[in-house]
Amino acid sequence: MTLDEFLALPIISDIIAFLTSIGFSQSTIFSKWAVIQFAILIGAIILAKIIEAKADEPITNRLRKIEGQRGFLRVLLIFKNRLFWLLLSIQLWIGYLILRSVTWPSNSYIIRVMTGLATTWFIISFFSRLIKNRFISRLIATVAWVVAALYILGLLPRAQAALDSAAFTMGGSRISALSILQSGALLVTFIWLAMLASAFITNALAKNEDISPSIKVLLSKVLRFFLLCLAVIFSLSAVGIDFTALAVFSGAVGIGIGLGLQKIVSNFLSGIILLLDKSIKPGDVIEIDTVSGSTYGWVQHLGARYTAVRTRDGTETLIPNEVFIDSPVTNWTHTNKSVRRKLPIGVSYDTDVEKAIELSLKAVEDMPRVLKVPKPVCLIKGFGDSSVDLELRFWINDPEGGVANISSKVYLEVWKLFQAENIEIPFPQRDLNIRSSIPIEIKTKK
């Protein structure tokens, strides 16, 4: 098959027609300069791969020595993972500049396109990877590079015209595939910027010691909701969508959302109420009865839908906000962090009760967490079946440090003091009275 016959093949003709439409000519494709440009491209790819392989281990060892700078280290890792594209872009730029200096611009068209595509991909993939959400990062990188590639190849106006032709009319507005894509891209961008702004302001509020924790959370929630609403409004307005045209549609969607998301809305409003009345706030020690049983722990986070409570065993229980509105909650630190503990103690009837009371009070004298004021007391609560019932009462002001552990320490100290003074802690005893007897015949073997 001759060259002319090969070029006459339908598929080859279509490829040549496409390349010609984006700036390539048949003379450019099959010229010696095209061969040189492809040789530069292949050589740059091979050399970039070799340098990347050689530099991988030294760079990795260097990065492992960086400590205490997680943000900076993350940026360096992203940069390292894209070292190949950086090296390829640099080499292609060098080759392109050399060709531009020794020949006509048309003879360096291929290398210019490849240089633009490689450089654009490096920049887009680097900055998009700074977004921690992997799905959003890949989505933004893909969409941005497709748009950039179409622009570099000169196909962007044609793509825009094709997307704009696929349209329909709603009310007085014309909605096309192009406007939908534009609004979607703007929506993602504005939401990302809104989340960044919200995170920045939230961090600034967290450092302000003049604002109470509940107000900080409330301001953060309201601000984030407000910024997200602005992001949606701006993204739709930027592409010229008339909101009146969506009034009926949005009303129907709103009713559907209202019926389907009652619990979510209820929990969101309950969270706002909790923050406004300051009944539950981050740092509080609470106890609440849930479906799975009683939960005791520290309020770690007040979310839009739930409240995270960390228990003593290190687990976090996510409790819907409406539970705190509908159910009784014991807040150990609502207005005052001081908590009184009551420890029942029983002693034998043969015991010097006054001595037992004295030793019980002595057990809490040197406890670091027990408050001196109010003063600990030990009372006689009654006379039980097997013991004289005492009750030791004392106060602590750090329930977040645990209440069961301080009770255990006090009991242990009481036990030691009672053992040293031979004071008996009795166990339940029962007397068996036989009111009638039955003769029992006993036979012995002779």
Using the 3D structure, point to which of 331, 364, 389 is the last residue of a domain.
331
Mean of all residue pLDDT scores within the chain: 77
Q: Are residues 349 and 320 in the same domain?
A: no
Q: Are residues 132 and 187 in the same domain?
A: no
Mean pLDDT of 228-236: 75
Kindly indicate the confidence band of residue 415, based on its pLDDT and cuts at 50, 70 and 90: very high
pLDDT (tens digit per residue) in 364-382: 988 888 888 889 999 999 8
Interatomic CA distance for residues 63 and 78, integer angstroms: 12
Kindly indicate the confidence band of residue 260, based on its pLDDT and cuts at 50, 70 and 90: low
- Provide the Cα torsion 250, 253, 254, 256; round to 10°: 170
**370 torsion bin: left (phi>0), alpha (psi -120 to 50), beta (else):** beta
Q: Are residues 217 and 311 in the same domain?
A: no
Least confident window among 13-17, 148-152, 196-200, 253-257: 13-17
pLDDT over threshold 80, residue 84: yes
Mean pLDDT of 49-54: 88
Mean pLDDT of 300-320: 80
pLDDT (tens digit per residue) in 313-359: 777 888 888 888 877 888 877 777 788 889 999 898 888 889 999 99
Residue 163 lies in a domain: no
Q: Are residues 131 and 49 in the same domain?
A: yes
CA 336 to chain centre: 32
Q: What pLDDT score was predicted for residue 59?
A: 84
Residue 76 lies in a domain: yes
Residue 117 lies in a domain: yes
Q: Are residues 224 and 147 in the same domain?
A: no
Report the CATH number that the domain containing residue 287 is assigned in CATH: 2.30.30.60
- Provide the Cα torsion 110, 113, 115, 118; round to 10°: -130
* pTM summary value: 0.45
Q: What pLDDT score was predicted for residue 212?
A: 66
Least confident window among 114-118, 222-226, 258-262, 263-267: 258-262
CB 396 within 8 A of CB 403: yes
Q: Are residues 309 and 400 in the same domain?
A: no
Interatomic CA distance for residues 376 and 361, integer angstroms: 7
| Percent of the chain with pLDDT strictly greater than 90 | 6
CB 396 within 8 A of CB 406: yes
Q: Are residues 366 and 411 in the same domain?
A: yes
pLDDT (tens digit per residue) in 171-186: 566 677 777 777 777 7
pLDDT over threshold 70, residue 12: no
Residue whose token pair is 């969101």: 268
**Domain containing residue 182:** 178-260
Q: Are residues 246 and 285 in the same domain?
A: no
What distances in angstroms separate CA 380 from CA 354, 367, 393, one per listed residue?
Answer: 10, 22, 11
Q: Are residues 115 and 225 in the same domain?
A: no
Report the CATH number that the domain containing residue 382 is assigned in CATH: 3.30.70.100
Q: How many CA atoms lie within 13 A of 111 on its CB side?
A: 32
Kindly indicate the confidence band of residue 14, based on its pLDDT and cuts at 50, 70 and 90: low
Q: Are residues 356 and 311 in the same domain?
A: no
Q: What pLDDT score was predicted for residue 196?
A: 79
Mean pLDDT of 126-152: 79
pLDDT over threshold 50, residue 7: no
pLDDT over threshold 50, residue 269: yes
Looking at the structure of the chain, the number of domains it has is 4
Nearest alpha-carbon partner for 389 in 357, 358, 343, 344? 344
Q: What pLDDT score was predicted for residue 88?
A: 87
pLDDT over threshold 70, residue 393: yes
Neighbours of 114 (CB within 10 A): 22
Interatomic CA distance for residues 1 and 9, integer angstroms: 11
pLDDT (tens digit per residue) in 313-324: 777 888 888 888
